Amino acid sequence: MADGDASGRIDADTDGTDETDGTDDTDDAETDADTTRRVRGGEPDAFGSPYRLLSGSVGPRPIAWVSSRGPAGENLAPYSFFTVAAVDPPVLLFAPVATRAAPKDSLANALETEAFAINVVTRDLVTAMNETAATLPRGESEFDRADVTPVECDRIDAPRVAEVAVSFECTLYDTVDVGGSTLVLGEVVYAHVDEAVTTDGKLDVRKLDVVGRLAGNWYAETGDRFEIERPP
């Protein structure tokens, strides 16, 4: 345990009196009681499981809907361990819970062809995306199951999803083994952006209804946006 408490005790932040001058702060104590926090410490597996703890608290996470091609044909699968890794060069990262020794199709295809497309999931496509999370018999198409359209990418040998508002064509930049997962980094070499989600030729975050993954079967929308100016 980080705090040396193997029992996973609950720490309560409470105040009764001001020990510096002995003054009885009854009113303050009542206020403090209303805002008491109970914080339990423990190893990552003390809160259900490390996966539940991490996936439930680090979110909402954007979803990489990865389309690729390999010896078994075309593949389409969602990954919520996904983010921007760099902008110069432009690199995206998704992390399947799989290894080179036992790769999932997306990882196997990326290693084989060194190319894949990442399609951005929006609210109107979340049901279709969820269908592609199913385990299908080898050779059966996720595109057909989800009723979405594969179209050829311009710069890489992989399909992309025609219905999405934004998709990125990527070449394999690097892979990094991390325990039972693999970080797959792809350099964006070409992008497709629906003009409906742009303003003056630039992507407008207010028009792109990206969906985020939480934990279990829970997802979140990005319709409730707000703006805060960054300090100088």
pLDDT tens for the chain, residues 1 to 232: 333 333 222 233 333 334 444 445 544 544 454 578 899 999 999 998 998 999 999 999 999 999 999 998 999 999 999 999 999 999 999 999 999 898 989 999 999 999 999 999 999 999 999 999 999 988 789 999 999 999 999 999 999 999 999 999 999 999 999 999 999 999 999 999 999 999 999 999 999 999 999 999 999 999 888 999 999 9
pTM for the whole structure: 0.82
Do 169 and 153 contact (CB within 8 A), yes or no?
Answer: yes
Check residue 34 and give its pLDDT: 54
